[in-house]
Copies of this chain bind each other. A is one copy, B any other.
Amino acid sequence: MPIGFNQEDIQKLDAVVATRRRVKQGDNLFSNGDSFTSLFAIRTGFFKTCVSTADGREQVTGFQMAGEIIGLDGIVSDYHSCNAVALEDAEVCVMPFANVEDLSREFPQLQRHVHKIMSREIVRENSVMMLLGNMRAEERLAAFLLNLVQRLHARGFSQSELTLRMSREEIGSYLGMKLETVSRAFSKFSDEGIIEVKQRYVRIIEPDALKKIFDPQTCT
Enumerate chain A interface residues (CB-CB to B < 8 A). Answer: 51, 53-59, 61, 72-77, 81-82, 101, 104-106, 108, 111-112, 114-116, 118-123, 125-130, 132-134, 173-176, 215-218
On whether the beta carbons of B75 and A116 are closer than 8 Å, the reply is: yes
Q: How far is the CB of A219 from chain B (nearest CB, A)?
A: 9
Q: Are B129 and A129 in contact (CB under 8 A)?
A: yes
Are A54 and B217 closer than 8 Å at their CB atoms?
Answer: yes
A77 CB, min distance to chain B CBs, angstroms: 8
Whether B115 contacts A75 by the Cβ 8 Å rule is yes
A125 contacts across to B, CB distance below 8 A: 122, 125-126, 128-129
Q: Cβ of A127 and Cβ of B51 under 8 Å apart?
A: yes
Pairwise interchain contact A134-B54, C-beta atoms closer than 8 A: no
> Complex Cα distance A111/B101, Å?
8
Shortest CB distance A126–B (Å): 5
Give every chain B residue within 8 A of A127 (Cβ-Cβ).
Answer: 51
Question: What's the least CB distance linking A43 to chain B, in Å?
Answer: 22
Q: Are B134 and A75 in contact (CB under 8 A)?
A: no
Contact indicator B57/A134 (Cβ below 8 Å): yes
Are A73 and B126 also in contact (CB < 8 A) when A115-B118, A133-B59, A215-B55 are? yes
The interface residues of chain B lying within 8 Å CB-to-CB of A82 are 126
Q: Nearest Cβ distance between residue A132 and chain B, in whole angstroms?
A: 4
Check if B111 sits within 8 Å of A118, measured CB to CB. Answer: no
Complex Cα distance, B72 from A181, in Å, reads 34
Q: Please state if A76 and B176 are interface contacts (CB–CB under 8 Å).
A: no
Chain B proximity of A64: nearest CB distance (Å): 13
